Structure 1
């Protein structure tokens, strides 16, 4: 049998996962991983804690360097190599070695695009200033720490109040840097949790000294040194600073896919089928550059999370490497679970929010519970705020969220398989969840919320 050659384009999460799995599926294949940067596999979610000095060395975040990955996974790795063109019909790619500037063309039988996404930078003159950073790759995190080590930073401005923005705000406070968050939307974490739960987030952020302003940056004042010295907002304010961090979300990297003639979706991702195959028969894609199906309503969404990257990578790799044997692997979809911990407060969600549920056509309502994480009189018990999003027509659990200093994230984790399986809130009432005074009350807050939701449905039908 002729040995097949599989090119994987991109590193960090999806690329290495795809390369390693492709080699497992076909041990005889030549699997080659190309990555533009010098780091191919590292813990991106841990970067805020490295910036905060909770993790001492950047080397701790590195899961595999090129040499160890090549040695342990039997995958050839070319870091510092930028794939500039892919020609699926000719089974060729063009790659440029950044160190020398030389380009070469190589033949491959299959291609897996794991090109990821890039951090959105503000569309303002001066956004290329020396002290404006994003937090997307390990080089960004190292750059921020190096800058703070060599410059006196007294005030940092964070652009964006999402997960990364809040993690970076806490990192700055931990380093005793005065911090302002500019969030022009409807409050912190406005894309993730309800207005009621946002209030708890806003409160803990304020109590820890972070100023939150509902304003948008519209101007950067840049000194002759090349650094931003102040930020002008849409309210006419000018805020002095020594560091600006843009945490404004991401945009999928699809330039290479466009040049390769692959079909691109209306939202700007690489179009794939449930097998992660693109519009070209010999090209698959995975990770942050693709959309995935949300299991609750069947809608295609962009979900740039590491778990989604790993899962789509396995499907893409298996189908690229299997040589037509057996049935192709199929990506089953996502629930959409995520969480953040900021200043000791856990904020977690899964499935649909109320707005998303109603937009999807559900007759949805929210059942809210304010309860205790443990038995109320046990030392250390904390308040826990839970919301369940429920379809009024049949009682189906559509989503859930929780906020609290303990037990919030893991309780939302309990909801994930229930949302996956289409459980009704009436089913949840029958779960024999753990009761132990140091860990959980006799009637868990999830059961309390489910009971109230069932009563709410009954009252509307009477």
Structure 2
């Protein structure tokens, strides 16, 4: 009987365990995680804090008892894998409640250790009113602080996905919010002209944004910025990025790639053919360029879990690379993206042209319609679609999903005008914005 050990019981790890059991009813599967909760929807944590999701337990997808009873999978929480003994095919595990240690053997080992929020070394960052949001317990700490202390103002450092979602949710609670961001434009995975639309939406909703600056000092009731300004605030959420948890892999001598993740092949295997790496800590490759890429998002983690499980159970499916398709909501605007941005295209020195269409999400004469802007980058010689972004009031996800599918299927920018997409006045127009991109690029 094959024995598989999984390190990490959130997203990728829990999914890998479930996939393994689905394809092999007899396999011995053990999952270790150092936290006290497993398989929670991390993407829902800002909305629990903002009380849009009223029951915090609703984002808990499973518990060890359910995994044991329904799937015969042994999940051990508050257990940390301290060392991988590759030659012996064993791991050294510490019970964090008792301090005791033991060894466990494996035929295959899946690393899904996730990542941790980056906390800069600045004066005052260790205080109790300074938070990060990376785990279920982080979410509980922020939510509890707001409920008990009744703050009136919060400052967020970093204007990525979590930072912007937290800004909206704190505002939903009635708090005043400042965002501090080191770059000149927020949400750097968007082209700057589209990020400005989100910037304006945040300001329209009363969010104060400070770009080209960072927090240098955190006091009891204020923060000092590198541009000389001081902001009065009750608490701070540091949301400046994620560092993959690769220490276990590094100590085992596994290769770490240029993106900081654990290097993997098309089957999610590391240097050691018995060890796989998935999720936020794994380095994969870009669908467009083939270059190393790491995408710390839920969809790639679940896909990687499937690929690792398929390979372990003898039905290998090679991955084709990552596009980084993603979306977020910022008050009344949605923003979605897939593939390469202008910045990435310039950095790689690729030949590219851009076509942009601004129009309605659906028929303009229908009462319920919103404006959206769709932008697509493509290679003018090969006509290959390199990337796409969309910002608007509705229908943004549909357009980017269509284009992500087109890229994956090898369609050209010219093929977009030929796509027969759904149309009725409440949903689209006879020439959908995706079609319009194809018509405008056609030459």
TM-score tier by shorter-chain length is over 0.9
How many residues of Structure 1 are paired with residues of Structure 2 in the alignment? 443
1:89 aligns with 2:77: no
Give distance in 1, aligned partners of 2:171 and 2:322. Answer: 34
Give distance in 1, aligned partners of 2:384 and 2:375. Answer: 14
Task: Tell me the CA shift for residue 165 of structure 1.
Answer: 0.7
Give distance in 1, aligned partners of 2:124 and 2:202. Answer: 28
Task: Tell me the CA shift for residue 273 of structure 1.
Answer: 1.2
Residue among 320, 330, 342 paired with 1:342:
330
| Corresponding residue number in structure 1 for 2:273 | 281
SS, match of residue 89 in structure 1: coil
Give distance in 1, aligned partners of 2:130 and 2:70. Answer: 37
Task: Tell me the CA shift for residue 7 of structure 1.
Answer: 0.7
| Corresponding residue number in structure 1 for 2:207 | 210
Query: TM-score if structure 1 supplies the norm length?
Result: 0.93
Give distance in 2, aligned partners of 1:304 and 1:21. Answer: 20
Give distance in 2, aligned partners of 1:369 and 1:267. Answer: 33
Matches within 5 A, 1:189-228: 189=187, 191-222=188-219, 228=220
Q: Which runs of 5+ in 1 are unaligned?
A: 223-227
| Corresponding residue number in structure 1 for 2:378 | 390
Task: Tell me the CA shift for residue 132 of structure 1.
Answer: 1.2
Task: Provide, for residues 404-456 of structure 1, a one-character-per-residue CA deviation record: whole Å limited to 9, x for no partner.
Answer: 111112111111111112211211111122221111112211212221112xx
1:60 aligns with 2:52: no
Task: Provide, for residues 169-215 of structure 1, a one-character-per-residue CA deviation record: whole Å limited to 9, x for no partner.
Answer: 001100110000001212111x2211211121111100100000014
SS, match of residue 275 in structure 1: coil
Residue among 185, 188, 199 paired with 1:187:
185
| Corresponding residue number in structure 2 for 1:116 | 114
Task: Tell me the CA shift for residue 48 of structure 1.
Answer: 0.9
Task: Tell me the CA shift for residue 4 of structure 1.
Answer: 2.3
Query: TM-score if structure 2 supplies the norm length?
Result: 0.97
Matches within 5 A, 1:169-184: 169-184=167-182
| Corresponding residue number in structure 2 for 1:225 | none
| Corresponding residue number in structure 2 for 1:424 | 412
| Corresponding residue number in structure 2 for 1:152 | 150
SS, match of residue 67 in structure 2: helix
Task: Tell me the CA shift for residue 357 of structure 1.
Answer: 2.4
Which segment is superposed worse, 425-434 or 203-212?
A: 425-434
Task: Provide, for residues 345-388 of structure 1, a one-character-per-residue CA deviation record: whole Å limited to 9, x for no partner.
Answer: 01001111122223334211211111111111221221111101
SS, match of residue 144 in structure 2: helix
CA RMSD of aligned residues (A): 1.4
Q: Report if aligned partners of 2:112, 2:278 keep a CA contact under 8 Å in 1.
A: yes
| Corresponding residue number in structure 1 for 2:425 | 437
Q: Report if aligned partners of 2:259, 2:292 keep a CA contact under 8 Å in 1.
A: no
Q: Which runs of 5+ in 2 are unaligned?
A: none
